[in-house]
Amino acid sequence: MMEVRDVTQKFFQLPHEEKLKIKMTPQSDYRGYQRVGENVTKGKPNMHEAIHCYMPIEPGRYGNHAKPMEESNLWPDYPSNFDTLLENYISLLQNLSRKIMRGIALALGAQLDAFEGGTTGDAFWVLRLIGYPFSAGIPPRIDIGCGAHTDYAFLTLVNQDGDICALEVRNQSGEWI
């Protein structure tokens, strides 16, 4: 996991022109690099930059509706091991997710593989690598890396740098912790 953080930080430290070589566009099926402020939550620009990756879908598997998701992810040329490292990381996350889902199935009294195969087992993943260039020295609640939102997935895994407070969760009383 530390290697993933290291190559991600190296990418975000590159000159802007280099990062734009994998710019996210409609033509890239919204995969690739997104500049600070381009991601918007509830009408407000988010103060982070990101690389968006999606599970590549086998051409024709879901007909014309999934055609936009049949493209490949965009990987930068530098750091040179970025694509290999991230593809291995994605594989590890898929295996971890499968184990977590099996644990949830057992806790619910279902079969171990209740969330595998058929409709529920056709998992789709999204990976966002996020950089917060404005975090240092900014008072809390002024710089919002990403506005309050609800993830659209059933399971979200977070690999967060230990020295950055980049994630808050609202508890039942409405307090951000």
Q: Which domains does the chain have, with CATH numbers?
A: 2-131 (2.60.120.330)
- Taking the model in full, what pTM does it have? 0.81
Element of type H or E holding 130: strand 126-131
Q: Is 140 exposed, middle or buried (0-12, 13-18, 19+ CB in 10 A)?
A: exposed
pLDDT, tens only, 43-98: 788 788 999 999 888 888 888 877 777 888 999 999 899 999 999 999 999 999 99
- Mean pLDDT value across the chain: 83
DSSP 86: H
DSSP 66: G
pLDDT, tens only, 102-116: 999 999 999 998 888
- CA pair distance 149, 131, nearest whole angstrom: 18
